[in-house]
Amino acid sequence: MTRAAPVCPRSFDHPAFSVLEQSVRERLHSLGHFPTPEEFLALARGIPNATPTWFGFAAQVQSELVAAGGFDCSLARTSFVPTRVGSFHDLLGGLIWLHFPALKTAIHRAQLAGRAGARGPAENAATHFDESGVLVVSTEPNMFESLAALEWRRVFWERRAELQQTTRFLVFGHGLLDALRDPHPHLMGKALFVQVAADRFGLGRSEFRVFLDGALAGMVPGFLSEPSRLQPLPVLGVPEWSPNQSRSYYEDAHYFRPARQRTRAPKAVRWIDLCC
């Protein structure tokens, strides 16, 4: 069990944490102690959502989790998300459940539908997205193509202004959020590309999140047929997600790895289209 510690609001200063409602972060700041699982629901009280909250949170008991057949089976039987007391990883997992209840529920049900004891490509893809996923939402599909081609300097620096006008990065993976509390220099995420119409960018932050949660819940499980549907993303290259970004910063090939010379034609880039 992870030892409890006070919630430090500075841990959530990184721009990636803007995926969480300001009211939720303020409640964490004012709480004065690490929240218990039973307090998670109150942290998100009143925030807009795409679907009603059907789940609660309860302290994880490892023997009960094993007896139930694992996380998803336990949740399905009890309607409580097993949560390690004092764990930032699980706190952030709970907050993502409360901000994206429709999408998290869809992934949970997809995992339950898999064959017991036989994880396939779809289950692995869902796990990668659940832990390290980033929703890269853009009005311009050519951004997806450049990111998939590992054209990091071109996208993040040379097309920086266009990127900021057309594309948003929302962290969905709670493991990645946990790592961003104190990011190591080579931190990577897994990008899921989503195209939206330009008028969607006129929505407020909360409305935009609710729109994505509801729209993606019915599409992501089918889309994530294999891990290759997710693209590597050096998250500290996202504009304003790390200090001292410059042209030379994006030339660090140890982090911003270039595409290898391939003898085979690359696979076509795939994304979810929410324009219709």
HEC profile for 139-191? CCHHHHHHHHCCCHHHHHHHCHHHHHHHEEEEECCHHHHHHHCCCCCCCCEEE
Q: Which of 188, 198, 190 is nearest to 138 (CA)?
A: 198
Q: Show which of 101, 121, 141 is a domain's final residue.
A: 121
For residues 137 and 233, state if they share a domain: yes
Question: What residues pair up with 78 in beta bridges, in sequence order?
Answer: none
- Domain end position, chosen among 71, 99, 121: 121
The model's pLDDT over 2-61, given as tens digits with 9 standing for 90+, comes to 444 556 667 788 999 999 999 999 999 898 899 999 999 999 999 999 999 999 999 999
Q: Which amino acid, residue 45?
A: R
- Number of domains within the chain: 2
Asked whether residue 48 is domain-assigned, the answer is yes
Distance (Å, whole) CA 227 – CA 234: 17
Residue 24 belongs to domain spanning:
14-121
**Residue 258 falls inside a structural domain:** yes
For residue 2, being part of any structural domain is answered with: no
Same domain for 142 and 248, yes or no, is yes
Q: Which residues of the chain have pLDDT under 50?
A: 1-4, 263
Residue 130 sits in the same domain as residue 115 = no
pLDDT score for 72:
93
Do residues 33 and 143 both lie within one domain? Answer: no
- pLDDT for residue 114: 73
Contact 135, 77 (CB under 8 A): no
Residue 5 lies in a domain: no
Among residues 69, 96, 121, which one ends one of the domains? 121
The per-residue pLDDT for 1 is: 43
- What is the 8-class DSSP label of residue 269? P
